[in-house]
Structure 1
């Protein structure tokens, strides 16, 4: 994937090399809560409706692996 945009500690946006649609990208956004001091990760994937089911499984698998490696319960 190629980086399209990056803001240190806030956002990174990518486009897959194999994707010919210039508007198809995905991004990770880190949200900071001033109230709790916590952070959350938002993943946004710009896809077509026919890709929704496969893409959901793809990200759920990756998030599950991330949680496991961090020791975070589901």
Structure 2
């Protein structure tokens, strides 16, 4: 069964430029997304509790959108971050797109909620 794409949106009390750094810079990613992060050009290595996973940077646009793909995932799956200002509230929004099995979307969404709480703390926006 094909995995489903889903998107989550979070309000982050930060400037878009600072937030974008936290979703692209390896040292910033290591403050909230993983215990460890290193990058050589478009190749990223993320580590959690001594386990490592490799990802490739697929796309980065206008300092507001970045797309990664886990190397052990299907070619058409990715996770991405889009940063923008809400036209209505003028708040900074982080849009996360990911893939999961239909029955796991809630659990994966909860994991993203925890990760974004960690991001808010790291960025000083909690």
State TM-score, norm by structure 1: 0.74
Distance between the aligned counterparts of 1:22 and 1:48, measured in 2? 16
What is the match of residue 55 of structure 1? 108
Q: Which has the higher contact order (CA 8 A, sep 6+)?
A: 2
Runs of at least 5 residues in structure 2 that lack an aligned partner in the other structure: 1-54
Computed over aligned residues only, the root mean square deviation of the Cα atoms, in angstroms, reads 2.1
Distance between the aligned counterparts of 1:39 and 1:62, measured in 2? 17
Runs of at least 5 residues in structure 1 that lack an aligned partner in the other structure: none
**2:76 is the alignment partner of 1:4:** no
- C-alpha displacement at 1:5, in angstroms? 1.3
What is the match of residue 67 of structure 1? 120
Q: Deviations over 1:44-70 (max 9, x none)?
A: 113331331331132112111111122
Aligned length: 72
